[in-house]
């Protein structure tokens, strides 16, 4: 039996469940359940918060998982990555107030930036040689400039409409992300065989969609 961790409820959930089903795996999922067992493959599915998935896979609580690269890399666990899955695409971007002057990334020198991704942001700023003040907050990052908490934000963007509705202008892409399959690095032979079977089926699903 191999244990897969997926997001319980959020932007990764539907496409994660869809991918497993497209791999020919049947299971009963109810929104209240925290785990379920497949009926036609030796697979157990755990439903977790996305932020917890990389850590649980690293620790072996789950054998494999599906998570956004943004969360995986922020947590410093990119070594667990096995396969890009092509859904939940988004980007981590820097944005400033609509009226704020901005020429390039050096405009952020000495400014305060609110984000839930301090590590990815710090790495980006360091690579550009820019020193800024990073304020780590866990949610509602987009309102930080309008309430005077920060000069700029660094947050996840997909359509861009959330930034616009908060009077913000996207100025730099910090990181591009999509969903990724991750694996514990010490799987036993049996679990590794099951992972290879799943990967084979996922390849076939992706080929069929091309």
- Enumerate binding residues for ligand PRT (CB under 6 A): 7, 10-12, 49-51, 68, 70-71, 88, 90, 155-162, 177
90 binds, among ligand PRT, Zn ion, none (CB under 5 to 8 A by kind): ligand PRT
CB nearer to ligand PRT: give 160 or 167: 160
Please check whether residue 89 is in contact with residue 182, taking contact to mean a CB–CB distance below 8 angstroms. Answer: no
Tell me if residue 27 falls in helix, strand or coil: coil
Pick out residues in 17-76 that bind Zn ion (CB under 5 A): 50-51
Closest to ligand PRT by CB, 48 vs 58, is: 48
Determine phi and psi for 109, rounding to 5 degrees.
-55, 125
CB-wise, 51 or 123, nearer to ligand PRT? 51
Q: Which is nearer to ligand PRT, 52 or 151 (CB)?
A: 52
**Strand, helix or coil for residue 130:** coil
Identify what 80 binds: Zn ion, ligand PRT, none; CB under 5 to 8 Å per kind: none
Smallest distance, Zn ion to C-beta of residue 201, A: 27
φ/ψ of 103, rounded to 5, equals -105, -55
Both tokens of 179, joined, read 């969903």
CA–CA distance, 42 with 38 (Å, rounded to integer): 7
Point out which residues pair with 7 in neighbouring strands. Answer: 48
Contact residues for Zn ion (CB under 5 A)?
50-51
């Amino acid at each position: 039996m191999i244990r897969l961790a997926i997001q319980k409820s959020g932007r990764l959930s539907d496409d994660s469940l869809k991918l497993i089903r497209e791999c020919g795996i049947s299971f009963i999922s109810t929104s209240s359940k925290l785990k379920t067992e497949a009926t036609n493959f030796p697979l157990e599915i755990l439903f977790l918060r996305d932020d917890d998935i990389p850590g649980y896979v690293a620790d072996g609580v789950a054998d494999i998982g599906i998570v956004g690269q943004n969360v995986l890399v922020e947590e410093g666990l990119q070594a667990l990555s096995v396969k890009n899955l092509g859904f939940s695409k988004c980007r981590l971007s820097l944005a400033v107030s609509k009226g704020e002057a901005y020429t390039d990334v050096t405009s952020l020198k000495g400014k305060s930036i609110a984000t839930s991704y301090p590590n990815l942001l710090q790495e980006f700023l360091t690579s550009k040689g820019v020193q800024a003040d990073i304020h780590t907050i866990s949610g509602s990052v987009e309102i930080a400039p309008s309430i005077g908490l920060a000069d700029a934000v660094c947050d996840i963007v997909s359509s861009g409409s959330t930034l616009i509705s908060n009077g913000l202008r996207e100025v730099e892409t910090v990181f591009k992300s999509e969903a990724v399959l991750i694996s514990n690095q010490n799987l036993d032979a049996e679990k590794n065989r099951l992972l290879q079977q799943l990967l084979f089926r996922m390849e076939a699903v992706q080929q069929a969609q091309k």
